[in-house]
């Protein structure tokens, strides 16, 4: 079934691209849109050996992405795809290296089909659940969403069961027996009567693979190795009051990942609570965030700040890397004008490590400036300073990290 799913999505896209370009609203055909960016990135001491660091390293990167929104003549059936004109992943930098690049990568590509009260999506599709637990993750999936009421209004809810292919059996043994790495899950979202949002995510990963491609330790030659089973459950619950019209903002989330899924000895848990308010000024929004991760739980890389979590260009570590963690942060957002917004971050992370030369704590000080040049173009500047402290020792391991980037974004 999973191979038919992929083939069906590809045929759907191929058939609709041949239709008339730039159709009118709700007319069959293809609408094109997209964005482009160019970025300067500079990093200090990100690569480290026992007694030295690489110093200041900088580079330019850029990418162009094109969105295809195709509407079929069949009632309500559509397809969506996004192409990047490079061979990098959808969250990776595409650095300039002086060489010609002719690759094209796919960010997402899926079809959408209404079926009564259900909406079917199939292909490379993202669930967009939460930046803390699961965000921008796009294996090949088949999902169906049932919606009761208007999901933007109180008293409504949606239910989305899904099945996905994490990895096809790639060895001769697994390909012969069709032993694959699959996922089966359910996402439920509800708009409560007070207009707060409650969401839940549960998934079971089934790793049927018997062998994996690797290197024989004794001979150093390629070999088929026994697969380490990564089967297990993950789950999350998320409560927030986004768009509820409250004087304060509230987010609370708690996630769980089974030990085999993480590749750890114990099951992992992690979560956070954040409170924000505009009581001081309509333009100024301070946010206090506290959280913890334990037993190997690592948050999605999109959750975080500039150095700890956040964008990969400047990221030193994800939230949860480095051991059991307690963290607290103060985030200040200030909208100086319709065009200019400022963000400041102060993070303290405390690690529960006893072994020598392991992380004891870290402090991040960072900021973001966003300026809208016009309706379709903007400039962004990010800068961050992260100072780590180890349980023992010092030297280069405790030297501060520094990074900054300047980016021009254009939408079309």
| Domain assignment of residue 272, yes or no | no
Question: Alpha carbon of 237 to those of 26, 179, 329, 411: distances in Å?
Answer: 36, 31, 21, 34
**HSE of 108, CA atoms in CB hemisphere, 13 A:** 19
Task: Write down the pLDDT at residue 164.
Answer: 95
DSSP 230: -
CA gap 397, 388 in Å, rounded? 8
Q: How far apart are alpha carbons 36 and 173 in whole angstroms?
A: 43
pTM value is 0.88
Is 101 inside a domain boundary?
yes
Q: Is residue 221 part of a domain?
A: yes
194 and 312 both lie in a single domain: no
Rounded to whole angstroms, how far apart are CA atoms 206 and 178?
13
Phi, psi values for residue 73, rounded to 5°: -70, -25
Among the candidates 231, 263, 295, a domain finishes at 263
Question: 236 and 296, same structural domain?
Answer: no
Q: Do 369 and 325 sit in the same domain of this protein?
A: yes
144 and 108 housed in the same domain: no
Using DSSP bridges, classify how beta strands 222-226 and 232-240 pair: parallel, antiparallel or unpaired: unpaired
Do 101 and 131 share a structural domain? no
Same domain flag for 197 and 258: yes
Q: Mind listing the pLDDT tens digit for each residue in 98-107? A: 888 888 999 9
Last residue of a domain, one of 237, 263, 289: 263
Q: What residues form DSSP beta bridges with 184?
A: 163, 204
Q: What span, in angstroms and rounded, lies between the C-alpha atoms of 199 and 188? A: 6
CA distance 198 to 190: 5
Task: Determine the Cα–Cα distance for residues 24 and 277; give it in Å rounded to an integer.
Answer: 42
Specify whether 174 is located in the same domain as 85.
no
- Distance between CA atoms of residues 190 and 147, nearest Å: 10
Provide CB contacts within 8 A for 11, sequence distance 6+.
Answer: none
Supply the pLDDT for residue 399: 92
Query: Is residue 268 situated within a structural domain?
Result: no
Residue whose structure tokens are 């963690």 = 325
Q: Identify the pLDDT of residue 360.
A: 95
Cβ–Cβ < 8 Å for 262, 234:
no
Alpha-carbon gap, residue 301 to 311, rounded angstroms: 7
For the chain, list residues with pLDDT below 70. Answer: 1-26, 170, 172, 174-176, 393
Residues 330 and 379 in one domain: yes
Instruction: Name residues whose C-beta falls within 8 Å of residue 230's C-beta, 6 or more positions apart in sequence.
Output: 181, 205, 207, 260, 261, 263
- Report how many domains make up the chain: 3
Residue 274 lies in a domain: no
One domain for residues 145 and 241 = yes
Q: Give residue 159's domain range.
A: 126-263
Q: Is residue 57 part of a domain?
A: no
Same domain, 309 and 346: yes
> Residues 208, 285: one domain?
no
Verify that 288 and 187 share a domain, yes or no.
no
Cα–Cα dist 72/15, whole Å: 9
As a whole number of angstroms, the distance between CA 194 and CA 246 comes to 10
Classify residue 276: in a domain, yes or no.
no
pLDDT at 174: 64
């Amino acid at each position: 079934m999973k191979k038919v799913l992929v083939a069906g999505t590809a045929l759907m896209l191929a058939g609709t691209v041949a239709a008339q370009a730039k159709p009118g609203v709700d007319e069959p055909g293809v609408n094109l849109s997209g964005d482009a960016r160019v970025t300067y990135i500079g990093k200090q001491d990100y690569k480290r050996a026992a007694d030295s660091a690489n110093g200041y390293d900088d580079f330019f990167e850029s990418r162009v992405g094109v969105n295809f929104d195709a509407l079929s003549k069949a009632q309500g059936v559509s397809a969506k795809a996004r192409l990047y004109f490079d061979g990098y992943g959808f969250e990776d930098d595409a650095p300039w290296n002086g060489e010609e690049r002719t690759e094209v990568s796919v960010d997402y590509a899926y079809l959408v089909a209404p079926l009564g009260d259900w909406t079917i999506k199939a292909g490379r599709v993202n669930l967009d659940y939460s930046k803390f637990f699961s965000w921008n993750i796009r294996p090949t999936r088949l999902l169906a969403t049932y919606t009761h009421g208007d999901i933007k209004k109180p008293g409504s809810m949606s239910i989305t069961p899904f099945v996905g292919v994490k990895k096809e059996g790639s060895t001769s043994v697994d390909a012969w027996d069709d032993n694959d790495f699959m996922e089966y899950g359910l996402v439920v979202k509800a708009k409560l009567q007070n207009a707060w949002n409650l969401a839940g995510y549960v998934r079971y990963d089934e790793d049927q693979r018997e062998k994996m491609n690797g290197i024989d330790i004794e001979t150093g030659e390629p070999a088929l190795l026994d697969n380490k089973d990564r089967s297990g459950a993950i789950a999350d619950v998320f409560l927030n009051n986004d768009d509820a019209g409250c004087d304060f903002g509230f987010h609370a989330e708690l996630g769980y990942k089974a030990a085999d899924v993480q590749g750890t000895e114990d099951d992992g848990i992690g979560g956070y609570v954040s409170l924000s308010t505009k009581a001081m000024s309509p333009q100024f929004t301070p946010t206090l965030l506290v959280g913890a991760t334990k037993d190997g739980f690592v948050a999605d890389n999109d959750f975080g700040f500039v150095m700890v979590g956040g964008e990969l260009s400047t990221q030193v570590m994800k939230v949860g890397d480095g051991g059991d963690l307690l963290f607290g942060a103060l985030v200040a957002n200030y909208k100086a004008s319709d065009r200019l917004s400022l963000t400041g971050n102060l993070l303290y992370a405390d690690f529960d490590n006893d072994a020598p030369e392991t992380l004891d704590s870290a402090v991040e000080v960072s900021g973001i400036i966003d300026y809208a040049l016009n309706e379709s173009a903007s400039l962004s500047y990010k800068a961050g300073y992260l100072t780590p402290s180890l349980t023992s020792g010092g030297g280069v391991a405790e030297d501060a990290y520094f990074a900054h980037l300047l980016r021009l974004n254009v939408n079309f």
